[in-house]
Structure 1
């Protein structure tokens, strides 16, 4: 019996020592913390086609993972014209955004799963905790610097082209460079 107790204590001691030598699992960093490093996809080309026939190209970072969507544009001091962030919702859902830890005002463009603009919130106030909802099922939300949606004339019904909406033209036939050269003005060659 004494040997059994000693063996049990020895086994317990070895197990305790082994677990003490193993590093404790690191807690997952809060992606909304200022010092958290969150890598985004992209930047990808996003084409905005307005009802007036204008096309605008934005180079957008892509937020598709939960950590990327939680972080969004927090802690940024500026959003350069012609840039933004495209949040992907797959499967599509109603989305709600807020501006906590966002240091600049933004325009929020809510987009249905087919790439059609369903709602725009212009000049969303920096640092606001107010919930800014899509009021519809969306496949994405495009965040732009405040005033950009108005400057580009984006309205509900306009089209946003990107792979997440399946309308980016990636399946289109490739352009033959020799044909493009024939259509170019003579001084452009």
Structure 2
């Protein structure tokens, strides 16, 4: 896992909000996701980056907190937002189209951050 800073911008370029995310790097980390986390307060989140754009799906099996899921298009825009997904839900949350990343934040976090579909997403490494 590596720390990333994620800025969200409105379509007209105004900064909406910023979170600090853990980038899940391996397939096993991505499969585990938020499972086992008992706390994911804003401004923290989890970042899943994929090797190539494709339709993706998530479920919340074995999670013990409610979450929001944000899918990110290959153009690095918010493609869709699934809000307040119940913990341990086995419902498949499927992107509408191809995505290159997904972000998980606490339930209600997307609304608290003011995020909207078509907002731009910028991911950066933290300076060392």
Fold agreement, TM-score > 0.5: yes
**1:56 maps to what in 2?**
17
Shift of 1:51: 4.1
Deviation track 1:136-183 (CA, whole Å, cap 9, x = no partner) reads: 1000001001111011111110011015xxxx8xxxxxxxxxxxxxxx
**2:82 maps to what in 1?**
121
**Partner SS state of residue 92, structure 1:** strand
**1:43 maps to what in 2?**
3
Tell me the distance in 1 between the aligned counterparts of 2:96 and 2:24.
20
**Partner SS state of residue 22, structure 2:** strand
More helix by share: 1
Tell me the distance in 2 between the aligned counterparts of 1:91 and 1:47.
22
Q: Which has the higher contact order (CA 8 A, sep 6+)?
A: 2
More strand by share: 2
- Greater Cα radius of gyration, structure 1 or 2: 1
Deviation track 1:37-96 (CA, whole Å, cap 9, x = no partner) reads: xxxx22111111134724311110112321111010101111111000010111111110
Specify every segment of 5 or more residues in structure 1 that has no aligned partner in the other structure, as ranges: 1-40, 169-189
Name which of 103, 111, 122 aligns with 1:150.
111
Q: TM-score, normalised by structure 1?
A: 0.62
Specify every segment of 5 or more residues in structure 2 that has no aligned partner in the other structure, as ranges: none
